[in-house]
């Protein structure tokens, strides 16, 4: 089967590579791929510190670690997306440079991202052959041949999809299968799967696992990134744990139990002090009962008292962002009751939430929080513009004075507040957004991923300010996928898994390993949280 | 306002602030800043000087006043277009709506015999058409290009139907005074244009509405998450554009005491968009100035005037205009 026909001559030099590869008999003790002494830093922050990863031929290798441990960076280096500062990659003891994703693909590496890269308005076979279409001498597409080859590969995987079906009509799990088929089409020898099961139902997960085991038998190596330790136990042969950009341990999955692996991921050094000081809380400010939005979250109950900091943590896609976007009125399709100060209210627009005293510092600051064409001052005053009006006209001098106050209060570093906000550093932008909600006079402040894209020093400052706000009587809700973050600043910690609160801890008593168990679904609290 | 109610100041250890100081910026970067902020004004001055050298008749006061008179209608339409484009949309229906408003105004005028009722009808019809545009964009979630394209076809069709494809003329004395009288040396339309410019400037830069429009055009999701009622602002934006179109329609109708359902307002949307783009407003919204549009309109007016003075074939004038628009956009990209 001669599938690798390219449009241009650029790639022709690599075509001969694969027949050679097929002839080599790899021993299990000989690693097929070695990433040696990988170092990588972004903006002066060392993300990978001397990591070495070895993958054998025909194994499923679990790559483990918390968010920010360096897994994605490592895989992006293998996939040719990032270039390492130091270190080298060997395939079969031959050094290769992954200068770009194309080269990586030619070396037999396929990266199946969490968000699938498919063109939904093209047909299945068109997606399979995208960028490497088969053409006849005149230059027309050989549609039938492409369909035939697509059909053969899909049949090999035991999937019954019409190659001429549009991708948009397929369920997510099938799209994933097509990604895998594409990898087979390109004769990949290594497939990287980044959290492939997050959007799959249980029977689909089982089918995926069957498939992975079959691929393994045919000599394909799979690098499997997942937080779900139960799955790793079920399907993986070996594992490597990364923590803070370092390789902690590599070993055989069967020889370890879940607890040990969790401990390795988390590390013993939770030496970072808790920021929050215990103080007595006021009355219940916010009470949420039975909040449900189909497909996003269900049966959510919780209370937040005056002066309390409540954390919500879990894996990506656990529904916490959607939950609080609903509570804030940005999403409207939900049922259940929200009480503020014991008053039942209906929130169907952010304006209503603000009137009820809720403020939201959203995640992905650039997309959701800052207005990049407005000045720093105007971003601060945007949600409470009534405070700066006199008989319908804006009082810019009042705005300026008010900003000066917040600048000192929150230690915002800006020389000229009339410049547009996008010129500020991430930490200072975040402070301006906090100032915006303080100016509104919000009593309940929701922070979604408050330290995203903020350097370490500024992180501490944001934590201190959040704690100070609680001490002044604000009710604070922190959403974060980083368990240590909520552990440092929260009085109460809720753990979410697939749209439900699976555990609730007192901030002092919570252990990161316990949180991880509930967040990954390997443990569920028997008693209903209410 | 007492700041103390919101909390106590936090004392933090690292307070040695290292910041960028704009005062030390050198002459070159100041020049870049001047160009990026006022490029349209600089371009205007260059074109003005070039025109006065190329043709001595250009500087004649009557010629200057003539230019102002000629741009006033498109100028008023372009003000509304600026607001729409700042919000991230576009309004293709302005020319057709202008014809429809004109026809309705004349009908109301003739039926009632009252100039006031005529003007009132104009304002209601124009802003209602704009309101419908806004409703489609905000509530129907239709792309503004499509919604206003539909309105463009529909409004023209209704105007043609009502006037049976021809022109309608006013039969009330005094209506022509609106466009044809003058105050000192300025014609009324010029005065109306400048007053409208001032009002829209104040609206966009001194009121919350303007602030919200900029926010919405720059980042709609963040604006919504900042508790701005985005839908209402959008509807208001298109209604305002419609209202300004009706002011332009009143002048257009009053000028010759008649309006043509087939040829009035044709291609006004292109001239208005051209003026806004030349004035430096960003196509995707969030950035731009009313003053920029004013000078964009004046640049277009001077170019038209010069081409007439220099006997450039009217068939070639569109080519020059097209070239200028493209050059303006290329310069914007540079920023």
Out of B206, B212, B221, whose CB is closest to A367?
A: B221
Check whether residue A238 and residue A291 sit in a common domain: no
A9 falls within a domain:
no
Closest to A174 measured CA to CA, from A151, A216, A204, A195: A204
Give CA–CA dist A135/A344, Å, rounded.
Answer: 65
Give CA–CA dist B194/B214, Å, rounded.
Answer: 22
Contact B46, B240 (CB under 8 A): no
Give CA–CA dist A161/A175, Å, rounded.
Answer: 10
Out of B1, B10, B17, whose CB is closest to A398?
A: B1
User: According to the model, what pLDDT value does residue B184 have?
Assistant: 85
H runs (alpha helix) in A9-95? 12-15, 17-23, 71-78
A142 falls within a domain:
no
Q: Which domains does chain B have, with CATH numbers?
A: 72-166+184-334 (1.10.3470)
Scanning every residue of chain A, which has its alpha carbon at the shortest distance from the alpha carbon of B7? A472
Summarised one tens digit per residue, pLDDT across range B232-247 is 999 999 999 999 999 9
Q: List the 36-95 stretch of B: residues with Cβ below 8 A of A.
A: none
Q: CA angle at residue B212 from B211 to B214, to 5 degrees?
A: 70
Summarised one tens digit per residue, pLDDT across range B155-182 is 999 999 999 999 999 999 899 999 888 8
B164 at interface of A, judged by CB pairs closer than 8 A: no
Give CA–CA dist A110/B214, Å, rounded.
Answer: 44
A22 falls within a domain:
no
A150 falls within a domain:
no
Closest to B90 measured CA to CA, from B238, B250, B253, B227: B238
**Terminal alpha carbon distance of chain B:** 39
Contact A78, A192 (CB under 8 A): yes
A457 at interface of B, judged by CB pairs closer than 8 A: yes
Enclosing domain of residue A288: 270-357+442-530
A413 at interface of B, judged by CB pairs closer than 8 A: yes
Tell me, what DSSP letter sits at residue B23? G
Check whether residue A374 and residue A423 sit in a common domain: yes
Contact B253, B99 (CB under 8 A): no
Check whether residue A181 and residue A299 sit in a common domain: no
Instruction: State which of A266, A292, A324 marks the end of a domain.
Output: A266
Distances (CA, A) of A323 to A279, A523, B225: 28, 22, 14
Tokens linked to A111: 């990266």
HSE of B149 in the Cβ direction (CA atoms, 13 Å)?
Answer: 5
Contact: A369, B225; criterion CB under 8 Å: yes
Contact A240, A252 (CB under 8 A): no
Residue B238 main-chain phi, psi, to 5 deg: -70, -35
Give CA–CA dist A466/A175, Å, rounded.
Answer: 42
Scanning every residue of chain A, which has its alpha carbon at the shortest distance from the alpha carbon of B207? A393
B225 at interface of A, judged by CB pairs closer than 8 A: yes
User: According to the model, what pLDDT value does residue B23 have?
Assistant: 42
Contact: B219, A370; criterion CB under 8 Å: yes
Check whether residue A377 and residue A230 sit in a common domain: no
B224 at interface of A, judged by CB pairs closer than 8 A: yes
Q: How near does any CA of chain A get to the CA of B167, in Å?
A: 42
How many residues make up chain B in this entry?
Answer: 335
- Cα-based torsion angle of the residue sequence A7, A9, A12, A14 in order, rounded to the nearest 10 degrees: -100
Residues of A whose CB is below 8 A from B225: 328, 330, 350, 360, 362, 368-369
Q: CA angle at residue B272 from B270 to B278, to 5 degrees?
A: 100
Count contacts between A and B (CB, < 8 Å).
111
Tokens linked to A205: 């997960």
Out of B17, B19, B223, whose CB is closest to A371?
A: B223
Check whether residue A106 and residue A235 sit in a common domain: yes
Out of A362, A441, A457, whose CB is closest to B225?
A: A362
Give CA–CA dist A415/A412, Å, rounded.
Answer: 9
Q: What pairing do the DSSP bridges indicate for beta strands A444-448 and A358-361?
A: parallel
Check whether residue A237 and residue A291 sit in a common domain: no
Tokens linked to A104: 């990586």
List B182's β-bridge partners, or say none: B187
Query: In whole angstroms, what separates CA B57 from the centre of its chain?
Result: 29
pLDDT tens by residue, chain A, 530 residues: 444 433 434 333 333 333 333 333 333 467 899 999 999 887 666 788 889 999 999 999 999 887 667 888 899 999 888 899 999 999 988 999 988 888 898 889 998 887 777 888 999 999 988 878 888 888 899 999 999 999 998 888 778 889 999 988 888 778 888 888 888 888 899 999 988 877 677 777 888 898 899 889 989 999 998 877 778 888 999 999 988 888 888 889 888 887 788 778 776 544 456 776 777 889 999 999 999 999 899 999 999 999 999 999 988 778 899 999 999 999 988 999 999 999 999 999 999 999 999 999 998 888 899 999 999 999 999 999 999 999 999 999 999 999 999 999 988 888 889 999 988 888 889 999 999 999 999 999 999 988 876 766 677 788 888 999 999 899 999 998 888 888 888 999 999 988 999 999 988 888 888 888 888 777 766 444 44
A332 at interface of B, judged by CB pairs closer than 8 A: no
pLDDT tens by residue, chain B, 335 residues: 344 334 444 333 333 333 344 444 466 667 777 777 778 888 899 999 999 999 989 999 999 999 999 999 999 999 999 999 999 999 999 999 999 999 999 999 999 999 999 999 999 999 999 999 999 999 999 999 999 999 999 999 999 999 999 999 999 989 999 988 888 889 999 999 999 999 999 999 999 999 999 999 999 999 999 999 999 999 999 999 999 999 999 999 999 999 999 999 999 999 999 999 999 898 899 999 999 999 999 999 999 999 999 898 988 888 888 888 888 778 766 54
Check whether residue A409 and residue A483 sit in a common domain: no
Counted domains in chain A: 3
Question: Residues A152, A157, A159, A163: is their CA dihedral positive or negative?
Answer: negative
Check whether residue A350 and residue A393 sit in a common domain: no
Instruction: State which of A441, A465, A497 marks the end of a domain.
Output: A441
Matching residue, tokens 């980083």 = A482
Summarised one tens digit per residue, pLDDT across range A476-486 is 999 988 888 88
Check whether residue A193 and residue A97 sit in a common domain: yes
A131 falls within a domain:
no
Summarised one tens digit per residue, pLDDT across range B16-40 is 333 344 444 466 667 777 777 778 8
Residues of A whose CB is below 8 A from B218: 371-374
SS3 A88: strand
Tokens linked to A236: 């993986």
Instruction: State which of A242, A266, A290 marks the end of a domain.
Output: A266
Q: CA angle at residue A79 from A74 to A84, to 5 degrees?
A: 50
Out of B3, B208, B222, whose CB is closest to A369?
A: B222
A-interface mutation test, from B6, B201, B227, B281, most A Cβ less than 10 A away: B227
Q: How near does any CA of chain A get to the CA of B13, in Å?
A: 10
Check whether residue A413 and residue A522 sit in a common domain: no
**String of DSSP letters for B63-127:** HHHHHHHHHHHHHHHHHHHHHHHHTT---TTHHHHHHHHHHHHHHHHHHH--HHHHHHHHHHHHH
Residues of B whose CB is below 8 A from A354: 227
Residues of B whose CB is below 8 A from A386: 208
Residues of B whose CB is below 8 A from A389: 208
Give CA–CA dist A337/A299, Å, rounded.
Answer: 11
SS3 A339: strand
B221 at interface of A, judged by CB pairs closer than 8 A: yes
Contact: B222, A370; criterion CB under 8 Å: yes
Give CA–CA dist A6/A9, Å, rounded.
Answer: 7
Contact: B1, A402; criterion CB under 8 Å: yes
Give CA–CA dist B213/A367, Å, rounded.
Answer: 17
Contact B303, B49 (CB under 8 A): no
B186 at interface of A, judged by CB pairs closer than 8 A: no
Distances (CA, A) of B66 to A11, A337, B301, B318: 65, 66, 9, 20
Contact: A351, B226; criterion CB under 8 Å: no
Check whether residue A75 and residue A210 sit in a common domain: yes
A10 falls within a domain:
no
Cβ atoms within 10 A of the Cβ of B34, count? 12
Query: In whole angstroms, what separates CA A444 from the centre of its chain?
Result: 26
A101 falls within a domain:
yes
Q: How near does any CA of chain A get to the CA of B24, in Å?
A: 13
A370 at interface of B, judged by CB pairs closer than 8 A: yes
- Edge-to-edge order in the sheet of strand A190-194: A109-112, A190-194, A221-225, A60-64, A238-243, A246-252
Check whether residue A291 and residue A336 sit in a common domain: yes
CATH of the domain at A105: 3.40.50.300
Tokens linked to A255: 């020889």
A-interface mutation test, from B5, B7, B11, B211, most A Cβ less than 10 A away: B7
Residues of B whose CB is below 8 A from A374: 211, 214-215, 218
């Amino acid at each position: 089967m001669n599938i690798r026909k390219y449009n241009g001559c650029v790639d022709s030099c690599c075509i001969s590579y694969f027949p050679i590869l097929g002839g080599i008999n790899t021993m299990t003790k000989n690693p097929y791929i070695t990433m040696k002494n990988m170092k990588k830093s972004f903006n002066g922050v060392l993300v990978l510190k001397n990591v070495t990863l070895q993958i054998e031929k025909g194994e499923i290798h679990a790559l483990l670690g918390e968010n920010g441990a360096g897994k994605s960076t490592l895989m992006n280096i293998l996939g040719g997306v990032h270039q390492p500062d130091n270190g080298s990659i060997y395939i079969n003891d031959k050094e290769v440079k992954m200068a770009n994703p194309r080269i990586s693909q030619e070396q037999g590496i396929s990266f199946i991202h969490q968000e699938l890269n498919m063109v939904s308005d093209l047909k299945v076979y068109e997606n399979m052959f995208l960028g490497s279409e088969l053409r006849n001498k005149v230059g027309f597409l050989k549609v039938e041949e492409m369909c035939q080859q697509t059909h053969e590969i899909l049949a090999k995987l035991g999937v019954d999809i019409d190659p001429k079906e549009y991708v948009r009509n397929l369920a997510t799990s099938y799209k994933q299968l097509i990604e895998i088929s594409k990898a087979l089409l390109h004769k990949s020898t290594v497939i990287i799967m980044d959290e492939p099961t997050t959007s799959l139902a249980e029977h689909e997960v089982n089918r995926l696992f069957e498939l992975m085991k079959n691929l393994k038998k045919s000599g394909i190596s799979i690098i499997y990134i997942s937080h779900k330790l139960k799955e790793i136990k079920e399907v993986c042969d070996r594992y490597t744990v990364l923590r803070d950009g370092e390789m902690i341990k590599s070993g055989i999955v069967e020889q370890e139990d879940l607890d040990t692996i969790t401990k390795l991921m988390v590390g013993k050094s939770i030496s970072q002090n808790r920021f929050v000081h215990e103080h007595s809380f006021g009355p219940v400010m916010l009470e949420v009962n039975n909040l449900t939005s189909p497909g996003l979250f269900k049966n959510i109950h919780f209370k937040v008292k005056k002066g309390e900091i409540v954390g919500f943590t879990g894996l990506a896609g656990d529904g916490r962002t959607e939950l609080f976007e609903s509570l804030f009125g940005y999403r409207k399709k939900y049922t259940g009751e929200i009480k503020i100060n014991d008053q039942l209210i209906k929130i169907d627009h952010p304006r209503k939430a603000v009137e009820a005293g809720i403020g939201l510092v959203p995640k992905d600051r650039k997309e959701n929080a800052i207005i990049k064409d407005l000045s720093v001052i105007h971003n601060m005053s945007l949600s409470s513009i009534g405070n700066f009006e006199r008989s319908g006209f804006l009082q810019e001098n009042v705005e300026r004075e008010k900003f000066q106050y917040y600048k000192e209060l929150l230690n915002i570093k800006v020389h000229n507040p009339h410049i547009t906000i996008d010129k500020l550093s991430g930490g200072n932008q975040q402070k301006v957004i906090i100032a915006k909600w303080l100016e509104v006079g919000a009593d309940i402040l929701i922070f979604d991923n408050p330290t995203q894209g903020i350097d370490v020093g500024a992180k501490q400052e944001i934590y201190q300010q959040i704690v100070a706000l609680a001490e002044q009587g604000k009710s604070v809700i922190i959403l974060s996928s980083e368990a240590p973050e909520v552990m440092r600043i929260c009085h109460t910690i809720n753990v979410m898994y697939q749209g439900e609160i699976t555990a609730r801890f007192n901030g002092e008593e919570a252990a990161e390993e316990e949180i991880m168990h509930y967040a990954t679904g390997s443990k569920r609290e028997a008693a209903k949280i209410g | 306002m007492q700041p103390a109610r919101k909390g106590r100041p936090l004392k933090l250890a690292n307070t040695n602030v290292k910041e960028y100081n704009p005062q030390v910026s050198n002459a070159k970067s100041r020049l870049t800043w001047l160009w990026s902020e006022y490029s349209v004004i600089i371009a205007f001055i260059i074109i003005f000087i070039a025109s006065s050298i190329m043709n001595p008749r250009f500087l004649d006061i009557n010629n200057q006043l003539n230019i102002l008179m000629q741009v006033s209608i498109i100028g008023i339409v372009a003000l509304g277009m600026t607001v729409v484009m700042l919000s991230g949309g576009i309004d293709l229906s302005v020319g057709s709506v202008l014809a429809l408003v004109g026809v309705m105004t004349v009908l109301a005028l003739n039926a009632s015999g009252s100039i006031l009722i005529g003007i009132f009808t104009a304002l209601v019809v124009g802003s209602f058409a704009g309101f419908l545009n806004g409703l489609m964009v905000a509530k129907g979630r239709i792309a503004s290009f499509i919604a206003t394209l539909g309105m463009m076809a529909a409004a023209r069709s209704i105007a043609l139907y009502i006037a049976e494809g021809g022109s309608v003329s006013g039969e009330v004395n005094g209506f022509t005074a609106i466009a044809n009288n003058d105050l000192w040396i300025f014609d009324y339309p010029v005065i109306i244009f400048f007053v409208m410019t001032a009002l829209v400037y104040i609206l966009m830069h001194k009121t919350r509405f303007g602030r919200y429009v900029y926010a919405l055009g720059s980042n709609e999701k963040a604006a919504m998450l900042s508790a701005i009622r985005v839908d209402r602002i959008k509807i208001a934006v298109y209604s305002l554009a419609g209202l300004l179109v009706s002011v332009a329609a009143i002048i257009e109708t009053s000028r010759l005491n008649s309006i043509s359902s087939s040829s009035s307002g044709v291609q006004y949307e292109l001239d208005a968009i051209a003026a806004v783009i030349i004035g430096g407003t960003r196509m995707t919204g969030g950035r731009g100035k009313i003053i920029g549009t004013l000078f964009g309109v004046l640049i277009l007016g001077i170019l038209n005037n010069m081409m007439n003075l220099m006997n450039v074939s009217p068939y070639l004038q569109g080519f020059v205009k097209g070239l200028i628009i493209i050059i303006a956009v290329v310069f914007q990209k540079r920023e």
